[in-house]
């Protein structure tokens, strides 16, 4: 309907769908920050425990990881992903396409690798996969009572490093999901995952920092640093409609494709701006870098429906 190369049927890519140190303490109250709206420095700690530092001078996720690595004198490749305002492995607090100017960044580093041999007894393994935007795909969600759910060694937050000895490093989440989907049913294969380095305090709740809620140097609290598709980062006022739209689009991506990516959802939302119908929207997607996803007609229509619902305040 929209484009010759787009599949007419809804084919989900997958329903299958990271330095040993002294035992850390729970995050301590951060020092007085030189943060200002102009300098755009952010509080940062290693999730398994470290002093607090500040990171700045980055315009995309990859550069952010490089700045964090420099701050803690570790290779950026040791960082699996970051969470915001929580040092726990909380997939609801993943750093995606934007950072609030008051957010505290926790970097999760590579921990123990694990190799598991399993048999794909069903079409779907039960994984939702996302990636960190810098070359590592990892498990965001595990479906209850799925194949993976019954393998305790594979957990949410684990980086998928290899499949049958083939490296998945540098691949996007949809490529890893597709590789898992293409494994024939009843085939036995080996998956190598790397869990994030964990502290002995992972079940504790971080103590609120002194003066929390009054970080005057961080701006109004309604502003966020957005990582845009063109490689530039831009401070914007928080857009409530966009936030709802991105969340809903992400839900559709997970249902149809087994992937979760707030940055991708943000790009899709941006492409819908000023589009008056689904045809215009589909054309904008096909003419963008997102054409590589080969979204089906059904998926485009589903996403457009959510976008119009958000615009008309029906959600």
DSSP state, residue 37: T
* CA distance linking residue 258 with residue 124, whole number of Å: 10
Rg (CA), the chain: 20
Using 50 as the pLDDT threshold, list the residues of the chain that sit under it.
9-25, 32-38, 201-221
CB 260 within 8 A of CB 129: yes
**pLDDT of 136-150, one tens digit each?**
999 999 999 999 999
CATH number of the structural domain 112-196: 2.30.42.10
pLDDT in the model for residue 261: 80
Strand-pair category, 42-46 with 53-55: antiparallel
CB 84 within 8 A of CB 104: yes
Other CB atoms within a 10 A radius of the CB of residue 112 amount to: 12
pLDDT in the model for residue 27: 53
For the chain, what are the domain ranges? 42-110+199-229, 112-196, 240-311
pLDDT in the model for residue 241: 83
The H-or-E segment that residue 218 falls in is: none
CB 237 within 8 A of CB 100: no
* CA distance linking residue 29 with residue 26, whole number of Å: 10
Measure Cα distances from 69 to 66, 149, 169 in Å. Answer: 5, 33, 18
Phi, psi of 208 (to 5 degrees): -65, 140
Whose CA is closest to 245, among 216, 202, 281, 203?
281
Write the CB contacts of 221 (distance below 8 Å, at least 6 apart in sequence).
100, 101, 102
CB 87 within 8 A of CB 63: no
* CA distance linking residue 53 with residue 63, whole number of Å: 16
> DSSP letters of 78-143?
GEEEEEES--S--GGGB--SEEETT--EEEEEEEEEEEEEEE--SS---EEEEE-SSS-EEEEEE-
pLDDT in the model for residue 86: 93
Other CB atoms within a 10 A radius of the CB of residue 56 amount to: 14
pTM confidence score: 0.72
CB 109 within 8 A of CB 78: yes
pLDDT in the model for residue 279: 94
Return the percentage of the chain with pLDDT > 70, whole number.
77
Other CB atoms within a 10 A radius of the CB of residue 165 amount to: 9
């Amino acid at each position: 309907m929209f484009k010759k190369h787009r599949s007419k049927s809804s084919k989900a890519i997958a329903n299958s769908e990271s330095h040993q140190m002294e035992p850390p303490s729970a995050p301590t109250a951060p020092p007085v920050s030189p943060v200002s709206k102009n300098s755009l420095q952010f509080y940062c700690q290693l999730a398994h425990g470290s002093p607090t530092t500040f990171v700045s001078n980055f315009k995309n996720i990859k550069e952010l990881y490089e700045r964090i690595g420099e701050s803690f004198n570790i290779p950026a490749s040791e960082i699996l992903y970051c969470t915001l305002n929580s040092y726990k492995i909380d997939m609801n607090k993943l750093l995606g396409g934007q950072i609030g100017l008051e957010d505290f960044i926790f970097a999760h580093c590579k921990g123990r690798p694990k190799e598991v041999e399993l048999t794909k007894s069903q079409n779907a393994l039960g994984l939702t996969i996302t990636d960190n935007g810098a070359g590592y795909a990892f498990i965001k969600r595990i479906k209850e009572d799925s194949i993976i759910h019954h393998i305790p060694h594979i957990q949410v937050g684990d980086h998928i490093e290899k499949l049958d000895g083939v490296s998945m490093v540098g691949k996007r989440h949809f490529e890893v999901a597709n590789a898992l989907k293409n494994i024939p049913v009843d085939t036995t294969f080996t998956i190598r995952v790397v869990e994030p380095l964990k502290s002995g305090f992972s079940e504790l709740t971080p103590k609120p920092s002194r003066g929390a809620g009054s970080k005057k140097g961080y701006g109004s609290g309604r502003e966020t640093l957005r990582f845009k598709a063109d490689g530039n980062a831009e401070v914007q006022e928080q857009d409530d409609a966009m936030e709802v739209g991105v969340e809903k689009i992400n839900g559709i991506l997970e249902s149809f494709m087994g992937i979760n990516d707030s940055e991708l959802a943000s790009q899709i939302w941006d492409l819908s701006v000023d589009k008056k119908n689904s045809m215009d929207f589909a054309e904008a997607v096909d003419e963008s870098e997102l054409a590589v996803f080969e979204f089906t007609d059904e998926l485009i229509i589903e996403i457009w429906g959510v976008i119009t619902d958000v615009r008309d305040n029906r959600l």
